[in-house]
Chains A and B, each alone.
Chain A
Amino acid sequence: MIEFRTGRAALITAAAVFAALGLAQPALAGKTLDGVKQRGSINCGVTSGVAGFSAPDTQGNWSGLDVDTCRAIAAAVLGDPKKVNFVPLNSQQRFSALQAGEVDILARNTTWTLTRDASLGFNFTTITYYDGQGFLVPKKLKINSPKQLKNAEICTQSGTTNEKNVSDYFRAQNIKVKTVVFESFEASFKAFFSGRCQAFTTDSSALAGLRNKEAKNPDDYVILPELISKEPLAPVVRRGDDEWFAIVKWVPNALLEAEEYGITQANADQLKADSKDPAVQRILGSSDDTGKLLGLDKDWAYRAVKAVGNYGEIFERNVGPKSVLKLPRGANNLWNKGGLMYGLPVR
């Protein structure tokens, strides 16, 4: 009878497999906005800790430029900047997490490139930071340009545009270098600070923070002034949901416009009540209803500014003079102040 029992067990298994397949219907990504409203929160993919962009403190509170972008969107969409679940993702997980619908927005200092834009099923929204790749080197090596790094070993993290940029740059210069590539960001800079490599490379915005926070003596290291790449960082959404794309695109633009027209977290209420400037009125929703066009309400941009401040305030708090990074505004200044930040008109 043993054979018969095996047969029956096999039939039951077969039935179970069929049932499982039948149940495993494709989880069709519905309208992201509806999903977010139903859930009552936004899932925002961030780093597991890059100072100034997205990093948790000892109490688990997230802060950073990318974090504030998600908070502003939560304020605009759900009326509460706290309704964000921050999902820490490493650089290998980030794209799959967005593709699979685990996060609604990927605000994880991600560089906008053609390959990523055109082949991953994503839309990049609005550039929130213009970065570039730089080098950190020990001062005692007396290096002042990456071109002097002949035969050097360079520590970096895998799965980033950085790895490829290094290779491109030194190939173009016909200089031989050796890369030592680590899976985690922590391992890569720890190896550098222990003296394993003669240079460390990543986006220049992160270099200052690393030097100030991680080096035993920050003065022993210098950041080379030369940048070897363009790294426009932007929040990313899935393709195929234009409504959500528009919202994630326009909230950062509204924050830029707010800075341009002098609307701050502190004066937003007062300006909303008595500003006569039509542009200010439009942004704060005291005249036209721009929110309706986005599927939101009239006060969407007002709430975003109220929650995290305008772009300038976000910059200053997270990466600017008031932060540990102390980065200059540079390319991230407004277009009319010599920078590249050009907020599209909210009207």
Chain B
Amino acid sequence: MPQSRQIWLARAAQALVLLVLALGVAWLVQHALGVLRARGVRSGFDFLLQPAGFQIGEGWLDFDAGQPFWRAFLAGLVNTVRAAVPAMVLAVALGTLLGIGRLVPHVLLRGLCAAYVETLRNIPLLVQLLMIYFALTQLLPDATQALRLGQGVWLSKSGLSVPWPVWEPGAFWPQALEWPERGDFNISGGAALTPEYLSVVLALGLYTAAFVAEVVRAGIQSVSAGQVLAGLALGFSPGQQLRVVVLPQALRVIVPSLTNQLLNLTKNSSLAVAVGYPELVSVANTSLNQTGRAFECIAVIMAVYLSLSLLITGLMNRYNARVALRGWS
């Protein structure tokens, strides 16, 4: 068979598969909508413009029950990011230290790092999350007996309350600081990092750090021993060997795997619903129940996570292009 004919055949087959797949998806959607209609179930995304009617406990984006559902979803998304980003920083920083720690000559330190990795990565994240949450809510003092850590800083079951600037409506700069105060039965005012938020960030960060540690370790070990010896021959100190010789080469191995870990972390943040942190899935669950639009709410969750993940992948790929070996593809 001539080569060109083979290529043509292969392309035609691929196009056919794509067409069939598209038709299949279209048929499934059409069919599902038909069944829903036949059973008298309302469908469509029009509910996004209706007032949500429920509250969102905490977050960067102020949300009032009178605002529409789409804004509730947005507030949920902002809360997802609010938890995922600090957790990523924690995971990468701690994971890098742990990964390096697993390779140091010091036996005790190496053992501790190994123990951390093997313990944390082998216990389901949900279990760890609940464990941290219930430990926090059990151990912290009641809101009525909040610990005063300093001027306007309180620690209690209501979380860590700190002073927070307040904006007048329409103003660009904050006018004043709002100080948390001890009320009749809890701390009010200021900003609070709730136990829900703290446990989500901690659980996601600590768990993912164990995986990042392995990625970092693998990356460092992928650099051939000759490179380290060369560094040694040039008179570099162990720290310099790591910084100047090993890490730049290790990053080429680390970054692609690290991207996977960051994606996992972002998606795992959906477990936060278990401890009452109002992130995207929590908001979507509530919306789903208030409106009964199961398909639509799940579709929103999928679309948002897909976009978030693609965004992270895009950013990491750009970084990867910078650290990758030039001239190799």
Residues of A that sit less than 8 Å from B by CB: 1, 3-4, 6-8, 10-11, 13-14, 17-18, 21, 26, 29, 91-92, 95-96, 99, 115-116, 119-121, 140-141, 143, 150-153, 155, 158-160, 163-164, 166-168, 171, 177-184, 187-188, 190-191, 194-196, 198, 238-240
Say if the beta carbon of B249 comes within 8 Å of chain A. no
> Which chain B positions have C-beta within 8 A of A184?
274
A182 CA / B157 CA spacing, docked (Å): 16
A115 to B134 CA separation, bound complex (whole angstroms) = 36
User: Contact at B14–A180, with CB atoms within 8 Å?
Assistant: no
Contact across chains for B41 and A99 when beta carbons are under 8 A apart: yes
CA distance A316 to B101 in the complex (A): 65
CA distance A10 to B17 in the complex (A): 6
Identify the interface centre among A121, A140, A163: most chain B CB within 10 Å of its CB: A121
* Cβ contacts under 8 Å, B35 to chain A: 26
Q: Is the CB of A239 within 8 A of B39?
A: yes
User: With a CB–CB cut-off of 8 A, which chain B residues contact A1?
Assistant: 6
Q: Could you tell me the distance between the alpha carbons of A256 and B27 in the complex, rounded to whole angstroms?
A: 48
Q: Which of B185-205 contact A (CB under 8 A)?
A: 185-186, 188, 194-196
CB <8 Å contact, A13 and B186: no
Of B147-155, B237-245, B282-290, the one with at least 4 CB within 8 A of chain A: B282-290
Q: How far is the CA of A92 from the CA of B287 in the complex (A)?
A: 10
Minimum CB–CB distance from B299 to chain A (whole Å) comes to: 14
Which residues of B are in contact with A by a Cβ distance under 8 Å? 1, 6-7, 9-10, 12-14, 16-17, 20-21, 24, 27, 31, 34-36, 38-42, 53-55, 57-58, 65-66, 130, 133-134, 137-138, 142-144, 157-158, 183-186, 188, 194-196, 273-276, 278, 282, 285-286, 288-292, 294
Once the chains bind, are A183 and B274 in contact (CB under 8 Å)? yes
Name B20's contact: one of A14, A140, A155, A177 (CB within 8 Å): A14
Q: Compute how far the CA of A188 lies from the CA of B107 in the bound complex, rounded to whole angstroms.
A: 44
Q: 13 pairs across A/B with beta carbons < 8 Å?
A: A6-B13, A8-B13, A17-B20, A17-B21, A26-B31, A29-B39, A119-B41, A141-B185, A151-B188, A153-B158, A158-B286, A182-B273, A182-B274
Q: Which residues of B contact A183 (CB under 8 A)?
A: 273-274, 276, 282, 285
Contacts A14-B17, A119-B42, A198-B143 known; A167 to B55 CB distance under 8 Å? yes
Contacts of B12 in A (CB 8 A): 7
Determine chain B's interface SS by DSSP, over half rule. helix
CB distance from A43 to the nearest CB of B (A): 17
Q: Are A187 and B276 in contact (CB under 8 A)?
A: yes
B1 touches A4 (CB 8 A): yes
Assess the A159–B292 pair: CB atoms within 8 A: no
Q: Name which residue of chain A comes closest to B1, CB basis.
A: A4
Complex contact B137–A196 (CB within 8 A): yes
B295 to chain A, nearest CB (A): 9
**9 extra A-B contacts, CB within 8 A, seeds A14-B16, A195-B143, A198-B186:** A10-B13, A96-B294, A120-B41, A120-B42, A179-B55, A180-B194, A191-B276, A196-B157, A239-B40
* In contact, A158 and B285 (Cβ under 8 angstroms): yes
Alpha-carbon distance A345/B325, docked complex (angstroms) = 84
CB atoms of A198 and B274 under 8 A apart: no
Among A7, A116, A141, A168, the most chain B Cβ lie within 10 Å of the Cβ of A7
User: Interface centre among B7, B9, B276, by most A CB within 10 Å?
Assistant: B276
Chain A residues in 8 Å Cβ range of B278: 181
Q: In the complex, which residues of chain A have a beta carbon less than 8 angstroms from the beta carbon of B65?
A: 167-168, 171
Whether B196 pairs with A180 at a CB distance below 8 angstroms is yes
The one of A150, A160, A188, A191 that contacts B137, using a Cβ cutoff of 8 Å: A191
Cα A238 to Cα B137 in complex, Å, equals: 42
Whether A167 and B57, one on each chain, are in contact in the complex, defined by CB atoms closer than 8 angstroms, is no
When C-beta atoms are compared, the residue in chain B nearest to A193 turns out to be B137
With A167-B53, A196-B195, A198-B143 in contact, do A21 and B27 touch (Cβ < 8 Å)? yes
Which residues of A lie under 8 Å from residue B276 when comparing CB positions? 155, 180-183, 187-188, 191
Complex contacts, B40 vs chain A, CB 8 Å: 121, 239-240
Chain B residues with Cβ under 8 A from A120's Cβ?
41-42, 292
With contacts A17-B21, A181-B282, A182-B275 taken as known, whether A168 is within 8 angstroms of B289 at the C-beta atoms is: no
